[in-house]
Structure 1
Amino acid sequence: MPIEIDQTNQRCTLIGDHNARIEGEATQVRIVTDEALRMSVAELNGERVPITEQEADALTVAGAVDGRRHLKSTEEGSII
């Protein structure tokens, strides 16, 4: 699991490539949709970590900003 959330203080850790650990307040995390990856990505301190939808939901409950958007095959230029 590439995230850890401390429910006692709403701090989280994103675990990126090569086990790099990016820590910060959950409210500083932004979750976006990466169209090329076709999945959600958590952004913190300029770093991006691909995450599952379950992890994205857990981060938003902890206070992260939810900037995801649904990809639709009917939208012009959609990758799906």
Structure 2
Amino acid sequence: MTLRIENQMCYFKLDEDGQEQSLPATRVKIVTDNDKSMSFVELAGQRIYITEVEADALTVAGATDGRNHVKAEEPGSLI
């Protein structure tokens, strides 16, 4: 998991070494990468991809939900 939330503070893991950056949930905006059909937040100049469960937890903590729904354009797609 790249994210943990404690008392409306969000801690994002930025690299493999476990370095974290913290940010109040109210300063986090969740966005959708349409090409990858994934949610992410921008932090320290990079995209941190998160699961939908993490995105939902962030919104409960007070983050701005800027996601959009990605619709499948091919028959039989899972999305």
Given the two structures, how large is their TM-score scaled by the length of structure 2? 0.78
Structure 2's unaligned 5+ residue stretches are 74-78
Measured against aligned partners, the alpha-carbon deviations of 1:23-75 in whole angstroms (never above 9, x if no partner) come to 1100111100012222100234544210000000000000000000001235x
The total of aligned residue pairs comes to: 73
Name segments (4+ residues, structure 1) moved above 3 Å: 44-47
Percent identical among aligned pairs is 51
Q: Which residue in 1 is equivalent to 2:10?
A: 12
Q: CA deviation at 1:16?
A: 2.6
Considering only aligned residues, what root-mean-square deviation do their CA atoms show, in Å?
Answer: 1.8
| 1:30 corresponds to 2:29 | yes
5+ long unaligned stretches in structure 1: 75-79
- SS of the residue corresponding to residue 55 of structure 1 reads helix
